[in-house]
Amino acid sequence: MSHMMAQFVGGAPPADLPFLVLTVDRQNLVYSALTQLGGAPDGDLRKELKVRFAGEEGVDQGGVRKEFFQLITEQLFGAEYGMFSRRLGDRIVWFNPDCTWEEAAGNFRIVGKLLALAVYNGVILDLNFPSVLYKKLLGQPLGLDDLESLDPDLRSGFRKLLEFAPADQVEDVFCLTFEVSYESMGEERSAELKPGGKDIAVTGELRGEYVEKYTNFILVESIKPQFEPFREGFLKVMGDSRVLQRLTPKELEYLIVGEPKLDFQALEENAEYEGYTKNCPFIRQFWSIVHGMDLESQQQLLMFVTGSQKAPVGGLGNVRFKIQRAGPDSDNLPTSHTCFNTLLLPEYDGMAKLHERLHTAVRNSTGFGLQ
């Protein structure tokens, strides 16, 4: 764990036992992980995480932990599990307000702990939350502009309502009351934004209040039973929430899901080599191929070698990226050790073969080269 992470979570972990160890079942990953995290003492949540898959050999030096987070986030945050939903054409993840079963609050609390554990252990998650989530985690006030990342069409509609002129025609043109309709469990439902709201018309004088209350309903009230335990679990690991106030929402976002900008020139400049040298012809060919990749292929390469398709805080220049010679020319595909951010690369005979073998490896890899 880095010194920066230790500062964010309020200090070093207890010294009696150095690790929080999870033994999880691949066939029942969510249940086995949530059960253990739910029963872990708060102090243990601030220890370095080690993961073991039941029935599998190997010591977690970082790669197993990365694979665990990848697999469990795919399941937990998928629409099939029911805790979260997809918005904006599946582009972003949000809380499912229909997730209200008896154990839902406890599960959201544990998922909040899981998210913070990833931050604590320096694992970048492949998740797309709207930016408003990070303001909510930091406890910052919300407003109309925060709807942009979750529901831009609704925000645009509110802007038109607020800017409509003449104001004395708002009631007749928009025909709104202080009541909202929404779908829940496949049924049409409604909620009043203020007592007696269904009988209170939205006029030019009241439209500002209507937009404020409607925005609060979407961002706060409608998901309060899901978000509040989620944030509580997050803060259990991150420590005193006052420490988080040192972060901006954007900085917190980068800690959780990484920076979207990928500067492969910075990655090249800081790369390390074993069996190759920085200026040997083969390595120059390798970087020429990488710089010529489209964004999707570059992201796949990062995922293949590091277990994440985004950059950590500070960019790719902060990634310890190593290329190790894996023997002379052969037909073997490149492999990787994600725990060490190491690419094992045979010295292929010719740039065309290097290009083909590298692209085949990163596009068809579904796991990690763990050791």
Catalytic residues: 339
Angle at 139 between CA 137 and CA 141, to 5 degrees: 125
Question: How would DSSP label each residue in 158-216?
Answer: HHHHHH-SSGGGHHHHH--BSEEEEEETTEEEEEESSTTGGG-B--TTTHHHHHHHHHH
With contact defined as beta carbons under 8 Å apart, do 308 and 328 qualify? Answer: no
With contact defined as beta carbons under 8 Å apart, do 137 and 231 qualify? Answer: yes
CB-based contacts of 208: which residues, under 8 Å, 6+ apart?
162
Lookup: tokens for 161: 């309502």
Q: What are phi and psi of 68, to 5 degrees?
A: -60, -50
What count of residues does the chain have?
371
290 vs 311: CA distance, rounded Å: 16
Measured CA distances, 70 to 29, 121, 125, 258, 326 (Å): 11, 14, 7, 14, 27
Lookup: tokens for 100: 């209200």
Q: How many CB atoms lie within 10 A of CB 310?
A: 19
CB-based contacts of 79: which residues, under 8 Å, 6+ apart?
85, 86
**What angle in degrees, to the nearest 10, is found between the helix axes of 104-120 and 224-238?**
40
